[in-house]
A and B are shown apart, each in its own frame.
Chain A
């Protein structure tokens, strides 16, 4: 695995400002895709996959429990909003919930690695799922949490109506773009270098003086912030929080999208989300068995394009790009 790294100087200057390019792509998305609702899907799942990749691509840890962070963020945002919190506070609650859940999960899961890490995160996420299922008074149980409505956003001299899908998209895009810049900054920080060191060679990183477990725990917690934020945006996009947002399938979705797009690049997981949503939309138009098509695409990617759609495309770019 090549892992997320900032490009070497002189090579791939296009990638020197990944957050800026990503933001431009986000702004253009509703004009490229057939509907703004579809663009919002890509935005939410893309941010989710990017948050997941902070642990998988940057650090080399395979988490099968990110649905707990995503769903936790969605429920926190939904609960805050339905109980009268302002929009910014509800989004913040989602981010904090994801961070907090990741902090606790990470405390337990970072004692292990490899397949055991995947299993422990999976088990912890299942625990979270059943807590959400049982706490129906807060979460609505299996009916989901309904009535998560943004309401009109009043700015000085301007009122935004989120019932307009295009307006709604751009409201969601604001925190997502901020998150892109934060993510790029983390990867370019000293901690980003420490994550790369741990991913490359754990024993060597330890000998250099890095506390490997602390690096993992901190990365998992940071990943929780991005994933929780994605969950919050999901709740706002949908207007409800379904219990499915916390289930095993949602955890697997992050893995599939990161691998489809390419976990070794900054923007790959986002492209993976785009490919996933596009395939689902196209194929579900004529058969309900659309997951078959996604599965075939996923297998083709793993077998023939191990660097993912985006990783493969970037690899074919001429040097001057």
Chain B
């Protein structure tokens, strides 16, 4: 099944959707979106409120199955794959709402995320034998600038710190594809700048898909942009192409503040 589609994929496309549709009862949140994401690129998915960005994100990360359409990852049809298999396939995500293990330490949050690759269900081997995971978790906390907070209980961290912790947890899966859903939501301008710098650094080594409401934020950093509007794909291209697109301008009119 994967071979035919893999052969017909344009070179360099790592994730592809085909007629992706999601209905909730009578409401169609996403309507036949066919799009491709290039390997190694930082692609932004933008659109006004209610455009179907979060639905698209949730379908891409396997949070729920599509009503119709297919998803291809690296030449494989992964439509309907249970969400817990995504980490092993090399796909990780960070959530729109802060989502950590609140009463565990920051270090243990990342360690347990990294452990999912090494040992998930072994009830007998002492955890101490997986000491390399602790080193890995410490290194990841360093990557996101939280090395000094390793021992802090995750639930007591500041909002921005929890978002950074989430990124470290997503990275612990050693993903080839990182999906981020509004990673700067609720952040101060300083925190936003730090997180965008971090995302740019992460995008040097892997494919990143950034779902974002704030158009201005993605224009400067993304190589490719996808614009959703009312559940459908409105435009696709480089930031310059998108900036010059009349349809996009019309949709975003009156939202210049973003």
Binding site for B on A (CB under 8 A): 2-3, 5, 8, 185-186, 188-194, 196-197, 200-201, 203-212, 214-215, 218, 222
Contacts and interface: CB of A to CB of B under 8 A. Distances in A.
A202 B237 CA distance: 37
A185 B103 CA distance: 21
B83, B120, B172, most chain A CB atoms within 10 A: B120
Nearest to A211: B84
A210 B86 CA distance: 10
24 contacts: A3-B103, A185-B124, A188-B128, A189-B124, A189-B125, A190-B122, A190-B130, A194-B120, A200-B103, A200-B104, A201-B100, A201-B101, A201-B102, A207-B95, A208-B113, A208-B116, A209-B84, A209-B87, A209-B116, A209-B120, A209-B173, A210-B84, A211-B120, A212-B84
Nearest to B172: A208
Going nearest first, the 10 A-B pairs with the smallest beta carbon separation are A209-B87, A209-B116, A200-B101, A190-B119, A191-B123, A208-B113, A208-B116, A211-B84, A186-B123, A193-B112
Contacts of B95: 203-204, 207
B41 interface: no
Contacts of A200: 101-104
Interface residues on B, range: 35 or more
A89 B256 CA distance: 77
A201 B83 contact: no
A206 to B, nearest CB: 5
B92 interface: yes
A210 B116 contact: yes
Q: SS class of chain A's interface: helix, strand, loop or mixed?
A: helix
A201 B108 CA distance: 13
B200 interface: no
Contacts of B93: 207
Given A190-B115, A209-B86, A211-B82, A196 B104 contact: yes
Nearest to B133: A190
Given A3-B103, A188-B127, A197-B101, A206 B121 contact: no
Contacts of B117: 209
Contacts of A194: 112, 115-116, 120-121
B112 A197 contact: yes
A8 B151 contact: yes
